[in-house]
Amino acid sequence: MASHITRIICFAAALLASAVAGECRTIVDMEGRSVTLPEKISRIVTVGPVPVLNGFLFAFGRQQAIANGLPRELTRKFQFVFAPDLATRPIVQSSASGLAVEDIVALRPDLVLTMDRAMTDKLASLGLPAVLLKWREPDDIKKLMGLLGDILDQRNIAAEYIRYFDATLARIASTLGAVAESKRPRVLYVNYRRLTQPHRIAEWWIPRGGGRSLTDDGRNEESVTFSLEQLIAWDPQVLIVADRGELDLVMAEPRLRDVAAVRSKRAHVAPAGAHLWANRTIEQPLTVLWAASILHPEKFAREMLESEMQSFYDRFFHISLSKEQLDEILAGSPGR
């Protein structure tokens, strides 16, 4: 405990010394909190939804700056493809033991990124430079990238991503045209093991991909739970699950054999790159394009999707993926 307090005091003293020397600045995060940061950001700790936060940093080419590794329960293979050094970084959180605050302090971060207010307040109370990012509404990603562009002094990259985001969605909308309501399939994104629609962001990307989400009732809750009987009554024409294990469960369930998506073999595993595409991820424009390709394959060929993926990862993550790697991302996660 004494060493823990000593580290915090030392960090605070170093921050104060930097401020006196004129090497600090103050930013306002997405919760309206003022945070003092060093002028140069070299060491970053990501806490909470680590793969999501890492993805933002990949887009700024800051893979080397990430000081912590991936919690085992959040591990995704392609995080290590995009940032191989993550495999050697210390893990500072787990679902079993929570945050290893002392280890975070020992990493001497210039910046700590979180997406949870209570966690942010806890870290800030210890003198850590904790910045809260929010992504509740679809357009929040643009505000978030703008803030990170300011923090990392890479405003040009933030602006480039925002332009790409808007242009890609506009191009998809143009290709879809005025798709009649009757031509928009009924879509259900589901965590089948828990029978939930786990992320409200799907109510945004499903219609932009040309579908009708069966859980889009104007809800504000992040997730909704329903029964198997309700799923059957909805009779989705397209079913999207989070991993291949769930797809196997769906296809093996005799009670689902007459559901339209199962009967026509239109049950799909969501792709998984830096993060699961069906959830919040820097890859969100690719999510919409993928959704359009499975909902309206006559308008969006797989080759078009693969070409866009290749361009995206080369442009923002600075990595050239092989055809086999693109196929693996599109095949989705085998589960954890």
Say how many C-beta atoms besides its own lie within 10 A of residue 243's C-beta. 20
User: Which of 157, 191, 220 lies at the terminal end of a domain, its last residue?
Assistant: 157
Residue 146 to residue 330: CA distance in whole angstroms: 29
Residues 215 and 323 in one domain: yes
Q: pLDDT per residue over 266-289, tens digit each?
A: 999 999 999 999 999 999 999 999
Number of domains making up the chain? 2
Residues 295 and 150 in one domain: no
What pLDDT, on a 0 to 100 scale, did the predictor assign at position 181? 83
Residues 233 and 94 in one domain: no
Q: Is residue 275 part of a domain?
A: yes
What pLDDT, on a 0 to 100 scale, did the predictor assign at position 127? 94
Domain residue limits at 319: 178-331
As a whole number, the mean pLDDT across the chain is 92
Residues 85 and 119 in one domain: yes
Q: Is residue 172 part of a domain?
A: no
Token representation of residue 23: 């090497």
Residues 281 and 203 in one domain: yes
**Are the C-beta atoms of residues 187 and 268 closer than 8 Å to each other?**
no
Q: pLDDT per residue over 45-95, tens digit each?
A: 999 999 999 999 999 999 999 999 999 888 899 999 999 999 999 999 988
Q: pLDDT per residue over 180-213, tens digit each?
A: 888 999 999 999 999 999 999 999 999 999 999 9
Residue 293 to residue 296: CA distance in whole angstroms: 5
Sorted by sequence, the CB contacts under 8 Å of residue 61 that are 6+ apart come out as 154, 157, 318
What pLDDT, on a 0 to 100 scale, did the predictor assign at position 73? 87
Q: Is residue 170 part of a domain?
A: no
Residue 14 to residue 168: CA distance in whole angstroms: 44
What pLDDT, on a 0 to 100 scale, did the predictor assign at position 336? 58
What pLDDT, on a 0 to 100 scale, did the predictor assign at position 19? 43
Residues 91 and 196 in one domain: no
Q: Is residue 164 part of a domain?
A: no
**Are the C-beta atoms of residues 235 and 259 closer than 8 Å to each other?**
yes
Q: What percent of the chain has pLDDT over 70?
A: 93
3-state secondary structure (DSSP) of residue 66: strand
pTM of the model: 0.91
Token representation of residue 238: 């397209």
Residues 152 and 39 in one domain: yes
Start-end of H helices in the chain: 2-20, 50-59, 77-82, 101-106, 117-125, 140-151, 155-176, 202-208, 228-234, 244-252, 260-263, 284-295, 302-316, 323-331
Q: What is the mean pLDDT of residues 219-237?
A: 96
To 10 degrees, what angle do helices 140-151 and 50-59 make? 60
What pLDDT, on a 0 to 100 scale, did the predictor assign at position 90? 96
Q: Is residue 221 part of a domain?
A: yes
Query: Helix-strand-coil percent breakdown of the chain, rounded to 5?
Result: 50, 15, 35
What spatial distance separates the first Cα and last Cα of the chain, rounded to whole Å? 35
Residues 265 and 124 in one domain: no
What pLDDT, on a 0 to 100 scale, did the predictor assign at position 142? 95
What pLDDT, on a 0 to 100 scale, did the predictor assign at position 136? 87
Q: Is residue 173 part of a domain?
A: no
User: Which of 157, 192, 227 lies at the terminal end of a domain, its last residue?
Assistant: 157
Assess whether pLDDT exceeds 50 at residue 1. Answer: no
Residues 131 and 182 in one domain: no
Q: Is residue 336 part of a domain?
A: no
Q: Residue 261's domain is classified under what CATH number?
A: 3.40.50.1980
**Are the C-beta atoms of residues 131 and 151 closer than 8 Å to each other?**
yes
Residues 207 and 298 in one domain: yes
Sorted by sequence, the CB contacts under 8 Å of residue 313 that are 6+ apart come out as 82, 273, 319, 320, 321
Residues 227 and 143 in one domain: no
User: Which of 122, 157, 192 lies at the terminal end of a domain, its last residue?
Assistant: 157
Residues 107 and 213 in one domain: no
Assess whether pLDDT exceeds 70 at residue 2. Answer: no
Q: pLDDT per residue over 161-173, tens digit each?
A: 999 999 999 999 9
What pLDDT, on a 0 to 100 scale, did the predictor assign at position 195? 97
Q: Is residue 282 part of a domain?
A: yes
∠ CA 160-295-328, nearest 5°, is 65
Q: What percent of the chain has pLDDT over 90?
A: 85
Residue 82 to residue 185: CA distance in whole angstroms: 34
Residue 295 to residue 247: CA distance in whole angstroms: 17
Under the banding of pLDDT at 50, 70 and 90, the label for residue 137 is: confident
Token representation of residue 145: 């990238």
* Residue scoring higher pLDDT (3 or 84): 84
Assess whether pLDDT exceeds 60 at residue 239. Answer: yes
